[in-house]
Every structure is written in C-alpha cells, then in structure tokens.
Homo-oligomer: A and B are copies of this chain.
Amino acid sequence: MNNPIYKNIKEKINISEQDFNNFLSLTKNSQVKKHDFFIHEGDVTKYIAFVKSGVLYSYTVDKKGDKHVVQIAVKNHWISDLFSFFSQEVSVFNIQAIEDSEITILSKDNFEKACNTIPAFEKFFRILIQNAYVDSLRRVSRIYGNSAEERYLKLVKTNPQIIQSVPQHYIASYLGIKPQSLSRIRKKLYN
C-alpha cells in the first residue's frame, strides 16, 4: 500500500491494510488556504490533521503580543493541539497554514471509534502524545544548553525540509530569536 498515512502509522505500530482502510473511512480530506486557521486559540480542538501537502504551524501569542512558533508540520506529519484534543479543554494555540495545504482530518468522535474498533490505534495516539511531550522536553533542554546558532544548525541537519519550505521569520520564531538575528547567524555561517 502506497498511502503516506499508512506508511506513517506503520512506522509506529503494526496494522493490517484492512484495519487501515477502516481507519481511513473515518477520516475526511480538507484544505486550508494560506494564512487560514486550522485551530483558533480559545476553541476546543475537534480535529487532528495529517499534512498531505503544504505546511502548517502552531504558535502562541504572549501578553506582550509577541508570537512564538511552537511546531512546524510539513508534508507527512501530524499536527494539532494534542492536549486540547485529548482533554477537550480550550486550546492556547493557533494553527495556521503557511501555504495552501491539503490535509486529512480525524475528529475526536471518530478517534474514539477508531480506538474502540482497532485497539492498536489507542497505542498509536498515545505514542503521538508521548512523542509530543518528549519533543517539548528536548526543546527546553536545547534552549538551555545551546546557542541560537547551534539550534539552527541542528534544525538544518534534522529537518532540512523545514528550512527549504518555510519563510525565515517563522524559523527564527521557532528558534526563539528575531529574524534579524537569524539573518546575522546565516551570514556568519555562510561565509
């Protein structure tokens, strides 16, 4: 089977094509135009999204009004506010499309259905939240243990696709610095 979602799930759990097709029938295809919202801060998160094409990103806005990019999801990655999705509390994140994107979405109700009929999915989604947790922990230690330059190099190495397809000011925000500083770092590096 050549479906990218199937491949993505297969990386984490064992699942038959049959079960996957059942799962797929619970999802819906959808589109998000450039700059349109997938999740609005203050709403309860109803869907989890798999990015088929394009790029989505999540961010918070602090009391000073500054935006902080938290996650960037390129092709073949999942994105949502997992905490809000699982707890059904309101989201503190916004998720928006950086460019026109095609996504496959799964609602909370159908997520429950998938878990009930295909037990392995419970595990798959528990792994998703665990990974999100670990990502966040890693991020904290990366901020504390590395300079912005080191964090940028790390990103270039582990996520070249993000570097290629995302405007720099999003990347700067994701790294926790200003666009001018990223520009300065890049200048220094590519000399």
By the criterion CB–CB under 8 Å, are A60 and B141 in contact? yes
Asked, given contacts A64-B145, A145-B62, whether A137 binds B70 with beta carbons under 8 Å apart, the answer is yes
- Judge if A153 is at the interface, Cβ distance under 8 Å: no
- Interface residue count on the A side (C-beta < 8 Å): 27
By the criterion CB–CB under 8 Å, are B176 and A144 in contact? yes
- Judge if A117 is at the interface, Cβ distance under 8 Å: no
A62-B141, A133-B133 known; 11 other A-B pairs, CB under 8 Å?
A: A62-B144, A62-B146, A68-B145, A70-B141, A83-B130, A83-B137, A129-B130, A132-B133, A136-B137, A136-B140, A144-B176
Interface residues of A (CB under 8 A from B): 60, 62-64, 66, 68, 70, 82-83, 86-87, 126, 129-130, 132-134, 136-137, 139-141, 143-146, 176
